[in-house]
Each structure stands twice: as structure tokens, then as C-alpha cells.
Structure 1
Amino acid sequence: EQDSKEWSQSLEEALRRYHAVYLSTPTRSAGLWARLEEGKTLLALGRKKEGQEVLLEITKLPSSEALIYQLRVKAVDSLLASWTNTTSLKDDEQFDERLRQFVLGESLVSPLNSDYLAMKYRSAELLWRRLEASSVDSKDARKSLLADVRILARDVAKAGGIYAASARKLLEQLGRQDAAFADRLGRSFVASFRHAEEVLEQYRTNPSETQRSTALAELQEVLRIAPSQPAEDQELKKEHLSLLRYQLALLFYEDQRYHEAASLGDFLVKYSLYEPICQKAAILALASWQALVTQQNAQWADSATTQIGELASVIMRRWPRDRCSTDAAEVSINLALRNGNSAAIKSVLYSLDEDVIGRGEVLVRGGVALWHLCQNPGNGQDRTSSGLRTECVQHASEALDEGFAAIDEVTSMQGSTFEVAVAGAIARCEISLYLGQDDSLDLFSLLTHAGYGPWRVLRDSSRELPPSIYEPGLRVCVRAFSKLQRYDLAMQSMQSLVENISSNKEARLRLVGTSISVGKKLIEAAEERRSQDNTSSEKSRFSDDEIEFIEHLLDFTKDATDQLEVMSWVAITLSRLGLPGDGLVSRVPEKKRKSFLLQASATIEKILSHGELPQSAMTSWRRELVAVRSNLGQWEEAVEQMRVILADQQNNRSPVLQQYAADLFQKAAQNSQSLEQARAYFRSAIVGSRVMLEVGESVVWGWGSLASRVSKAAFGSREGVADKMQEIYFESRFRLAACRLAWAQKEVDAAIKTRLLKEAEADIKIEAQLHPSLGGDVLKERFEALLEVIQQESLTISKTR
């Protein structure tokens, strides 16, 4: 019982609890609510001064948030209830200008909020009491008080509710106009509702712009006065008010006043108690925000996208078993994807209840969108941020896996659900390829899944799929089967794709990119196997299937485009496959190896004639061509290219290029079928040569001249240069003697043989006198071994003679 001992004790106990909560979290929502209840409890206990101090403290909080504003409203209302229950005007002196402006200011809560209306009505009562007690001589003060009372009383009377009748009575005391206003508000709501129905019926019969403008004006006027009008059935009145507000929102939408339509729709979703109207309002608000996204205003678009995400979450929570939930989620995800807003997508996915219809489809759609944003970040996300990218990929992967788990429970898939599932499977395969060993997905099982596996679905001619799914699906099959070493299926996938995109240049270029990516991974894998296994075991080399597949990739790529970077990759890859000693292709049959080299040669020639090839790259490509033709046994062509390289003055002054040239001429001589040609090549390798070409004079130094030209730098004071030049110097001196020996061994003229061997022996002995170390222990052993061979060769000739 109120005012009893037990009642007081329970209030004291409550007071202690409220105070303890406030002290533990003084700045958080729970603490502030507890502080409010503490003040109200103090008033209930009769400790008015303490209670008013606590409540006044709350009224001074910054009300930038709706929650804080609502706390302030409740605090002011409690203070006003305390002040208006006293007879002395001095008791309400703390209702100062600050609180007066707060009461009259813009509201952050619904205008129908009961606490808000109570605060406004009590404020009007308090100010009216002050007006009645004020001196008639204080005209300005009385005028100001009257204006405030009028505003407050009218607002409360218009809003309806339990204080509306009292507010109308107060208005009747303010003057004739206010009394007439109160009288109008008191008229029947039924008449207003019927009038609104008639106006809407006229517009629907004749939906012109003029009729719509008339309907908008009439409906707004009805809604302005209707809340305060009396009605016998208050519940029916509330339902009719919700219906009228929905009709007004629909008129706003049809009039392309999307902000107003969205705002009114949101209001109904939040505050209407009538589910059918709420659901319609939600769909209308969603359509309004969607229309705002397309407006030429970036700020509107961003804000609308966020609002759509929030509204979609509300729809999915309130009507999970209706199709509108799936539609709302789809709209939200698509718009968020277009605006690069991954946070909005995640918000939708986190809002999904277990019983949402189409939950699996929504999750998969969201996962696909997130994966797209991982690859194409928006909203200021840093593409190079590995942390952000990893988190993004994880969210996409989890959404897809959860979505597939839900979809697998469905016995059949049709229409958009089927397409979304296939797109999701493609995205999940791409994620698995990106994550590599860090992903536990059974890639082959997903590729061949009976319901939505890309490989199974895309080979089914009875299924119609758009190019946006077909092309990426087959491309991921190529990559995935390559990773799984199912090269037969990878080639089938690629063949199907090539046939499908033969007339689409952009699609062919995308497949070129895929082919290069797959080819690089194959070579990287082979290199990794070789680095881990230094033996010549079978597992460290390309398999026959791998060679066939990469040949398939190269055949398509080299014919698909003449882009320089693509041709460059093709040429280098063909060279690596054809050149011996690389370790990747030691099991390639000689015929196929030669085919690779011939293709490499033809591709390099195209590169050299390409209009976009920079001059600075000419030499490196010519050297590549020299290497290819040398390995094909096309020595004359290789020598010709080498001479072109050395026709450039900058090139023929390069010790490195001259060393390469001398080595080439020596090998060409040793492999020449013509003795005369061999002699010419040997001479160039030993003493050099000069040949005039169309592009200029080609200068070959030969081993002897090369050693002489680098000797000064080799034994100079510059350490870095000297070390490199010493290597070239001693190698040149060694190769000079070795080249003479090789010529002698190929020569048939005994006199020439003898002369060459003597010169070779002299080369080594003179070098040993000049530089006894002969370039270090390793080179010294090579020199000594070579000298022994030369002397043995000389001894053999002398015995023969």
C-alpha cells in the first residue's frame, strides 16, 4: 500500500539498486536509465530537492542520440509533474528558459510518444499558470507565455491521446480562434476518414497529376487533424490512421517524392501495430530508397544503400516466412555490391534467421557479392591490405559454405536459385584456388556436385545459363582441374570455352589471362618440385599429361592475340620447354622439344617485328633467339643474329656480350659440317672479326682480344668491377687455349694442327708466368687439366708423324 512502511522500504531498496547501477556504468545506457529512475524514486519518497537535482542533471545531457533525448523528455516530464502539483509558483522556478526551449524544440522521438505528449501538456499547464499569475502590465511577458501555451496545447490536441481532451479545454480558454480550432479537432474521425477514402477513389479513377496533387493535399489535411478527433472504436481508428498514412506514402512515391515516401514508410514499419499495413509500408519504403540510389547524388546513394540494408534486416526479422524477405535481401545485397559496401552486405547476412524462406540463396548471393568486393574493393578499402583482404575472403567463404549447406537441404532448384547456386559454386572454387593449401574445401567434389557443380552443370546442354556464369564457370574449371592435376578435364573445359567464345574478343582475352596464370603455376610447381628434390627423379619433372596440357594452353594463347606481353610469355615458356638442361622438360621427346623451339623462334621473330617493342628490349630478345636457334642446330642463323646484336656500338663494347659471342662462334665451329665454315668460325672465336651489315659494322672481339681489353679493368683498383672483369679475363684466357685445341681436333691439316696446339700450350704457359694463381684454385686446376690434354694431343700427332 502506498505510503506504508513496506512501500517506503521497497522504494529505498530500489533506490540503492538504481544508484549502484549508475555508479558502475555512469555513461552507458543502463547507467543513465538507472539515474533517471533514481531521481523519480527520490521524488516518490518525498525527497523532492534531491530528486529534482538528479533529474535536472539528466536534462543537461547532450541529446545528439534519440535514447538520450528520450531520457531528457522523461526527466522533464517527471519534474513538471512535481512542479504542477504544488501551489507555490516559486517551486517551478527551475523551469527556466533552457527547459522552455527544450520543450518547444524539435523532437527526436515520435510525435505520438506518450512521454513526449505528457511533457508538452504539463509544460502548457505550467506556463498557463504563470500567465494567469502574471501582472497585466507585463505585456511582452504575457504575450510570450500565451504564444508558447498555444503552440504546446495545439500540438498535444492534434496528436490525440489521453491529454488531447485536456489540451482542447486549455485552448478554449485562450481565445475565440483557439476555441474554434479545438472544436474542429473534436469532430468525428469517421467523417474525416470517409472524406479521405472519397478523395483517394477519385484519384484512382482518374490518376492524373492534378488529381494526385489534390489527393495529396486533402490526405495531408485529414491526417493533420485526424489524430485528435474522437472515435468510438479507438483500435479501428489507429488502424485507419495507419492505412491513411500508407496511402499518403504511396502518393508520395507516385509523385517521385521518394524521401517523403521512404520516411513515412519507415515510420509505419516502426510504429504501426497492423502487420498487413506494416509489410506493405516496408516494401514501399524499400522501393523508395531503391529509387533514391539511382539519383545523381553520391551522398543520397550511400545513405540510401545503408537504409536499404537496415530495412532489409527488419523485413527479414518480421516476415521471415514471406517472399518479401528474400526479395529485400536480394535488393540490399545487389545495391551494396554496386556501391562497394561490404559492411551493408554483412549486415544483411547477419540478420538472417534460420527460418527465413530462401535463406540459402541469400547467403550464397551475399557470399558471391563479398568475394567480388574482395577482388574489387570499394568504399575506401585498400586493395593491398592483406589483413582486410583475408578477413573479406573469410567472410565470403563462410557465407557460401553456410548457404550451400542450406541449399543442399532443398530437393530441387529452379530459376534464380539454381543460377545463384552455380555462381556461388564458381566463387567458392575461386576462393579455394586463392587460398591454396589454407582451404579445406574438397574442390573436386564441388566442381562435380550433381546440383550446382560448375563442371556438371556447364556440360548439361539442357540447362540454359547466361554468359556471366558460363564463361567464369569454365575458366574456373580450367584452373581448378589444373591444380588437381586432372589435365584431361582441364583440356576439355578449355576446349568447350574456346568454342563458346570464338567470336568474343574480350572473352578470348580473359581466357588468355587465365591460360597464362595456369601456365605460370604449372612451371612454378615444377620448379618447386625440382628445388625440393635435387635428384633426377621422375616426380621432379613435368609429366606427359602436364606437357600436353601446357602445349594446349600455348597453342591457344599464341593465336589469340598479338599483345606484346602475351607473346613474350609464350616465347619464354616455349623456350624453357625446348631448351635442354632446364630440368623441367628432360623427358620431352626430341621431336616435341624441337617443335617447341621452332614455335619459340617464330614467336620471337614476331616480337622483334612488333611495333610496340622498345628499342631497349631488342638485344635481349635477339639473344633469346640466338639461344633458341643454337639449340635447333641453326648455327648460321644464330651467328647472323649475333652479328646483328654486335652491329650496335653500345653492344659491341660490352665484355659480357663479346664473351657470349665468342662462345657462340666456338660452338658453331665445333658443330659445323663444313671445314671451311668451321675454320672461319674458329678464327672469329679466337681473334675476332669485322663484318659490314645493313645496320652497321658488326665487331667480334674473340677470346684473345676480349682478354686483352678487360685486363686493365681486371687488375685495376675498383674492387667490384675488378672482380667481375677478372672472371671474364681468366675465362677468356682459358677459352682461348680451349678453342685452339677444339680447332686442332677438328682440323685435318697436320701443320695447322701442330701450330694450333703449340699456340694453345704457349697461351697457358705465358698466362701462368704472368699470373701464377691463374684466377684461383678451381681455374688453375682447369688450366692444368687443359694443358695436359693439349700436350697429350701434341704427343699423339708427333708419334703419327
Structure 2
Amino acid sequence: MAGYRGRRLGRREERLTRDRLEERREQLRGRALQVHLLAAEASAERARCFPPGSADWKTALRQAITRYHELSQQQQARAAGLWAQVEEGRAHLELGEKDRGLALLADVLDLPATEPLIERLQTRALAASLEAWLATPTAADDASFGEKFRQRVLKLGPRDALDADALATKVRAAELLRRRADGLSGEEGRQQARLLEDARKLATDVARAGRDYAAEARDVLANLDRRGAAAAERFGQSFTAMVESAEAAVAQLRAAPSDAARDEAIAALRAALVAAGHELPEEGEDRQRQRLQLSYQLATLLYEGQRYHEAAVLGEHLLNTAPNEPVSRQAATIALASWQALKQQPTAAWASQAIHQVARLAEAIMRQWPEEAESTAAAMLAIDLAAAAQDLEAIDTLLSGLNKQSPGRAAIVLRGGVTLWQACQQLETAEKAAWQERAAGWLDEGLALLSDADSLKPDGLSLAIAAAVARCNLLLLADPVDSEEVKRLLLQPVWGPWTQLQKPSPALPKQLVEPGLAICLRGFVAIGDDKLASQALASLVDYARGSPEATGRLAGTIAVLGRKLVDDLEETAQQDGGEIKQVALRLELLGQVLDVAQKASGSRAVSTWTAVTLSQLGSSTGPFAPLVPRDARVGFLRQAVTVTEQLLDDPAGGQQTALRLQLVNVLAELKEWEAALAQIDEVLLDQDAARSVAELARQRFREAAVGWRKAVSGGTAVAWGWGGLASRVSNRAFGGEDQTARGLRQVYFQARLRLAACRLAWARRETDLNERRRRLEQAAGDIKIELQLHPALGGETLQVEFKSLLDDIEEELGRLSGAAS
């Protein structure tokens, strides 16, 4: 605008530009005024949040007064300034500064009422002034309410157009006139009658309007005279009065809950509904909505009072009579909750009927509001009921008929898919596969429907995680496993089980964490990501710590997982090893698994499997020998000894002989001969028929032990050890066909094989060619004698090992012969 100031505008375009700028300036001024008014009103409303008379209350009112005063001074000639002045006066009155407040309001009341807005502001100012005058101790203090104001109040109307300020003005004026009439003497009867008549008219207008201040108006009428009391009673029996009474009773219940207060509120609501049926409504549509709201409130209170049958019937009545009203959806929810509560009643027939009613009502809600939240809740409930009845067909049918546009479709489909997967666990093998396929299809659809948003609500997130867990379980049943899909689900950024459960939020259900971490562990093992599997195992162990139940479940999971890892390692060994780094990671993971199984297991079967697996991993001749480094083998063997000894400490568990034979093999691998033969002693002592054999074996062991202790080199010690062990068990090993004998035969052949291997190793270290030949011939002779005496050599595996060792020995002899020639 400054650019146009002082210029002569001749062109039409310039005049139009100026006009637009002027218009824009006025708009901005208006918005600025609105902002200032809102700021002042916010301060006044803030004051009402504090206890009256408190320091904060006074401070907030002072801030409002300051802002209103600034506006009234800046906008004296505008409506905004008058509005600010009225509010400033009201704030002064609220603070108890009556003179200042009434003076500000009087300035507004003295203005000519030339515009409807000024009339409204004057009505508001008059209502506040009347409240202040009524608070004065004597009638003389309200002298400012003169004839002019009395006539203005009497003319306020029509009744339907009266707002809250006008109704307040009328009822306060009626009370003031009644007070004046009470102060007149009998000699002023005509004036007194006139005042009472005006008060009656004003109070009747407010009572008949049936809105704000209707109760106060009835009180004024009741205090006038007998005629007024009769009118007050008549108005008190109206629908409007009954509604006010019911609302007051409900408010009292919410402020101070009790059974008595609830009963009073229920009675008041029933009375209001009865009054609505006896009175012809002046505004039918509004009255009908009011009745529906009262019915819903009544149903709510009946439900809270555990009067479930009444609440259910009333809620369904609203659903059937006014299905298109918003309150009916809320009432249907109350009815559904009531029938659910009735499912728990002790009488079986009644409980069964309640279940039927729940299913019927859920179907009606889904049909009536297919795209609303109530439909989603009803569908979830129907799925739960079908699951309880093992009705998988009902769940599948419900999901198939679901509205494609339902906002809760994703949640319903996921809930149904998870429920189908859970129900599949109870099915026979013949039908399980088909239902697993159906569950997988619904889970895939539900997960695809999930929003790509960065977050989900807690309930939605829990359901999504549960669905991902279920889908991963189904994927792991496939052969081959879809590794990419398993990894995608576990690591999905929003609802992936590993994403959410490695550090679970307290908001997530606890019952979701353990199965979620378990599927992460199984999934990572299945796809070969041993690093993440190790982390998942650590998280699962940490979660199970301190809970015997969770620890027991963990041991079972670990046993299944360990067998999978062992199978994978065996396959790797048969394929001539694998990538060194990957094999090392898998061995490290298997070591963690076995360590956890050793500590967590409360099951003897799991502990036995752990001991056997540890001994296999530590064996220098077993299938894992090419994969496991020597130091790691020793560690596995030490763990195997610990676990086996723990099992032996519990004789009630049985299998003592088998465990001791297993321990003999492990101790022999560790070259702890004394301990190994001590276990053999324990085995033989258990056999009552072999006492003489045991004595002879102990004597031979003592003789062998003397030579062993005198041995100087490691090779000699090893040879004495394996030879002594074979000699120690031979009589019992070939003295019968019982389980103990068969187990000792395996020990015998292993010892003879290793004795021959020791002789070969010893010969290779000899520098004297004649001595080397002697030892090689001795080793070859041992094997040939065993072949003659025991052609089976303890089984096919040992036959291959004996033959391979004999070939090596003969090859060495061949080299010696060539060198000699």
C-alpha cells in the first residue's frame, strides 16, 4: 500500500490492485483480532482449570483481563472491542472486583442497540450483571436493574431463539424480581403482584424452553406461590426435566461411583424414557435421538452393574429399531459384551445359549456395518468362537466372505490365518497339509495388506508379529525351505519377529516373545545364517532365565535344533567339508547349543543326547573329525565327560551301563586310561556272574598300569593305554550276547584299531630301519590276527577303518623293502 500512497490512480488495473490489497489487509486484520481474542479466551479457560481462589487461578484471570483490556482499547469502535470489554468485565466480576466489572458492563449496556451483535453483547453483559446483583446482601444493591432492563428482558425471544445468555438473563431477572417482591410490604400489593407476574413469565419461558437453566427456572417458580409451585411440578414431570434429572444422576454416579448411585441413575434414565413415551415431541427427530442416547446410557449402566441379560436385550433392541443411528453401533457392542459375559455362567445350557447369541449378534453386526470398526471386533470374536469349537470351515468361510473394502480386513485375515495355523496342530496327518496350505494363503494375504507405515498400533503390531511367526513355522515345514522368504519375514523392518523381539518392547505380549525368538533361532539355522542364529539363541536363553517352564521348553527346542545342526555337519563332512568360515560358524553355534542344552535341560533324554553329540564331535575317528579342530575336540570331550557324569550321578535314571561304556570311549579319546578302566570296573562289578573275570581283569590292569607309568614317550604311553584297555575288556566283551557285551566289543575293537595306529605312528618315528620293520610287522600282524579271530571286526565301519590302516602299514613296509633293495 505504501507504493500507492500519494499517487493518482488512473488506470483500472491499478485501482483493482489497490482494492484487492485493501480487502486482503482487512482479512488479515480480522484474523489478527481472532488470534488475540482466542489468546485471551484461552487464559480465561485456563483459569477455570485451577481451584477458585488459588494463586494460579488469579494469575490466569489477570492475564485474560490484560489481553481483553488491550483489545478493547485498540478496537473501541469495533464489535471486537465491545466483545473484549464484556469479557473483561466478566473476568473482573469473577475475581470479586464488582465495581470495576459492573462499570465496564454498564458502558456496554448504555450503548444504543442498533445492531443484532450489540444486542447479543448487551444480553451477555446483563446476564453477568444480574448474577453480581443477586450476590449482593440487600435488594437495594440491585437498583441499576431498572424498568428499561426489565422490559428488554421480558421482550427477549422467541423462546426457540433464546441462547444460553438469554436464558441466563431471564432466569436471573426472575429471581431478582422475586427477591424484590418479597421485600415489599403489604401496602405495595399491586406492585408486588406485578413483580411476581413478571418473574412468573420469565421463569416459565425458561422452564418451557427445556434447555439451559430449566432446573433453576423451576426452582424460581416453586418459590413464587402455589400457582408457581404447581407449574414447577408440571414442568418437572416433562421429558426435558426428566432428562435433566437423569443426566444429573449419571454425573453424580461418575463423580462418586457406588451401587446405590448406579441404581438411582438407572431409575432416573428409565423414568426419562417413560416420560418420552407420554409426551408428544415438538421436535420429533431430535427427541428420537435423545431417547436413543438415553437408552444407550441405560444399557451401559446395566452392563456396568452386571445386569447382563437386560443390557443385552436393550442393546439388541437399539440395533434392530435404529440400525442407522451412530449410537446403535455402540449399543450393539454393549450387547455383544453382555452375551460374552453370560458365556461364563455356571449353567451349561445357559452358557451354550449365550455362545449361540454371541455368534448370531456378531454376524448381524458384520452384516449391518461391514466397513466399521465394530464389524472388525465382531469378526475377531466370531473367529475365536469358531476356534473354540474346532470349526475350521467356519473360519475359512468367514474370511472368504469378508468385505474387500473393510478397513479392518488385514487384522481379520491375519487373526484367521494365525488361528487356522494353531488349529492345524491338533489335526490328523491326512487333513493337516490341506489346512496348513489354507492357513499359509490367508497369512500371505494378510501380511501383504499391512500398511507400509513405519509403525503399527500395539495390538496390530502384536498380531502382525504372530502372523509372521506362524508363516515362518509353515515355511520351515517345506522341503526345500524358501530361505529368502524366511529371511524377509524374520527381518521385515516393521513387524519382523527378529526386528521386534531381539529387544522386545514392554507393550508386546509376553506370550509372544518366546515362540517368536524360537522361530527366529530355527529360521536362521535353516537358512544358514549362523551369526544371527547365535544372537537369537543368546536372546532366547536370556528370556528363559529364571523361569523353569521356559527353560524346559528351551531345552526341547535346543534338542531339535541340535539334531538339525548335527545332520547339516554330517552332510558337510560327506561333501568333503565346506567353506572354512561357514563350518567354523556352524561349529561355534552347535557348541553354544550344546552348552545351553547342558545347562538348561531338565530332561534326561535331552542330556543323554547332549552327551552323545559332544562325544561324537570330540572323536578323532568319527565323521566330524575332518571338520573339528583338535583343541575344539578336546573341549567337546571335556563337556561330554561332565554331562555323562551328571547323568551317572542319578542312578534312578537307568542306562548306567550304556552311559559308562560311552564314558569309557570319551576318556580313552582323552587318553585318561586310569579313569577309563575305572569305569570298566564299574561295568563289570554290575555283573554278578563275572566276578572272577573282574578279578583277573583288575590284576591285568594293575600290571599294564605299571608299565604305562614307566613309559617315557607319549607314543609308548598311548600304546600301553590302548593295549591295556583292549585286554581289560576282551573276556567280558566276547563272553555273551547281552547289551553290555556288545557295547564292550565296540570298545575292544576301537582299542585294537587305535593300538595298531599307535604302532604305525611309533614305527614312523624310528630311525633304525630294522626296528621300524619290526614294529610295522607287529602292527600288521595284530590286524591280521584280529581278522582271523573276529572277521566281522565290530561292523562295516570298523572293517573299513581296519582295512585302510592295514593298507597304510603295508605301504610303509613296501617302501622299506624298496629302500633295502
Q: Find the partner of 2:440 among 393, 397, 402.
A: 397
Correspondence for 1:545: 585
Decide whether the 8 Å contact of 1:670 with 1:678 is kept in 2.
no
Matched with 1:413 is 456
Selected match of 1:620 from 635, 641, 658: 658
Instruction: Provide Cα deviations, 1:14-57, integer angstroms capped at 9, x if missing partner.
Output: xxxxxxxxxxxxxxxxxxxxxxxxxxxxxxxxxxxxxxxxxxxx
Are the structure 2 counterparts of residues 490 and 668 from structure 1 closer, same or farther at C-alpha, using a change threshold of 3 Å? farther
| Counterparts of residues 349-364 of structure 1 (less than 5 Å) | 349-364=399-414
- Could you give the per-residue CA deviations for residues 571-618 of structure 1, whole angstroms, max 9, x where no partner exists? 11101211233313422111111211111011101110026423xx11
| Residues 1:604 and 2:644 aligned together | yes
Report the Cα distance in structure 2 between the residues aligned to 1:682 and 1:481, rounded to whole angstroms: 46
Offset from partner CA, 1:363-405 (integer Å, 9 cap, x none): 2233333333334xxxxxxx35123433443333222211111
Q: How far apart are residue 432 of structure 1 and its match?
A: 1.8
1:410 to 1:309, Cα distance in 2 relative to 1, 3 A: farther
Gaps of 5+ in 2: 1-233, 251-259, 764-770, 817-821
Task: Label 1:308 to 1:677 Cα distance change in 2 as closer, same or farther (>3 A).
Answer: closer
1:741-792: CA deviations, max 9, x gaps?
A: x99x99xxx9xx9xx99xx99x989x99xx99999xx99xx99x99xx99xx
Contact persistence 1:309–1:344 (CA under 8 A): no
How far, CA to CA, are the matches of 1:684 and 1:239 in structure 2?
97
Deviations 1:441-461 (A, max 9, x none): 711111121221222334578
- Of 558, 565, 573 in structure 1, the residue corresponding to residue 605 of structure 2 is 565
Match of 1:386 in 2: 429
Q: Is the 8 A contact 1:371 1:396 kept in 2?
A: yes
SS, match of residue 437 in structure 1: coil
Question: How far off its partner does 1:310 sit?
Answer: 4.3
Pair 297,566 (structure 1): closer, same or farther in 2 beyond 3 Å = farther
Hey, what's the Cα distance between the residues in 1 that align with 2:547 and 2:793?
64
| Structure 2 equivalent of residue 632 of structure 1 | 670
Taking the aligned partners of 2:375 and 2:307, their CA distance within structure 1 comes to: 25
Partner AA of 2:541 in structure 1:
V
> Secondary structure, in 3 states, of the residue corresponding to 1:256?
coil
Q: Distance in 2 between matches of 1:289 and 1:646?
A: 71
| Distance in structure 2 (CA, Å) of the matches to 1:666 and 1:565 | 39
Distance 1:488 1:529, change over 3 A: closer
- How many equivalent residue pairs? 529
Alpha-carbon contact 1:529-1:541 (below 8 Å) kept:
no
Whichever residue aligns with residue 656 of structure 2, its letter is M
Partner of 2:596: 556
AA paired with 2:440? S
Checking the alignment, whether the CA contact within 8 Å between 1:542 and 1:584 is kept in structure 2 is no
TM-score, with structure 1 as normaliser: 0.53
**1:666 and 1:306, CA in 2 relative to 1: closer, same or farther beyond 3 A?**
farther
User: Letter of the aligned partner of 1:634 in structure 2?
Assistant: E
Report the counterpart of residue 128 of structure 1 in structure 2.
Answer: none
1:141-540 paired onto structure 2 within 5 Å: 205-206=248-249, 208=260, 211=264, 253=303, 256-263=306-313, 265-266=315-316, 268-270=318-320, 272=322, 274-276=324-326, 278-297=328-347, 300-301=350-351, 303-305=353-355, 307-333=357-383, 342=392, 345-346=395-396, 348-375=398-425, 383=426, 385-408=428-451, 412-437=455-480, 442-459=485-502, 465-527=508-570, 536=576, 538=578
Q: How does 1:83-98 map to 2 (within 5 A)?
A: none
What is residue 645 of structure 1 aligned with on the other side? 683
Counterpart AA for 2:445: E
Deviation at 1:523, TM superposition (A): 1.8
CA displacement at 1:200 relative to structure 2: 7.2
Q: Percent identity?
A: 31
| 8 Å contact from structure 1 (residues 302, 339) kept in 2 | no
Instruction: State how far apart, in whole Å, the 2-side matches of 1:580 and 1:773 are.
Output: 22
Amino acid at match of 2:408: G
Q: 1:211 to 1:772 in 2, by over 3 A?
A: closer
The separation in 2 between residues aligned to 1:773 and 1:432, in whole angstroms, is 45
Q: Which amino acid aligns with 2:640?
A: A
**1:701 is aligned with what amino acid?**
N
By how many angstroms is 1:527 displaced? Answer: 4.4
Q: Deviations over 1:198-226 (max 9, x none)?
A: 77765664474765786799799999x99
Q: How much has 1:685 moved relative to structure 2?
A: 5.6
Residues in 2 aligned to 1:665 and 1:347: alpha-carbon distance in whole angstroms: 79
Provide the C-alpha distance between the structure 1 equivalents of 2:557 and 2:437, rounded to a whole number of angstroms: 24
- Separation in 2, partners of 1:367, 1:434: 16
Q: 1:622 to 1:685 in 2, by over 3 A?
A: closer
Distance in 1 (CA, whole Å) between partners of 2:683 and 2:581 is 34
The answer (yes or no) to whether the contact 2:497–2:516 under 8 Å persists in 1 is yes
Distance in 2, Cα, partners of 1:513 & 1:683 = 40
CA gap of 1:542–1:526, structure 2 versus 1, over 3 A, is farther
The 1:496/1:678 distance shift into structure 2, 3 A limit, reads: closer
Structure-to-structure mapping, 1:719-734, within 5 angstroms: none
In 2, Cα distance between the equivalents of 1:284 and 1:772?
84
CA distance in 2, matches of 1:773, 1:507: 48
Q: 1:518 offset after TM fit, Å?
A: 1.2
Greater gyration radius: 2
What is the CA–CA distance in structure 1 between the aligned matches of 2:793 and 2:396, rounded to whole Å?
71
Structure 1 segments unaligned to the other structure (5+ residues):
1-190, 376-382, 689-698, 714-720, 797-801
SS at match of 2:404: coil
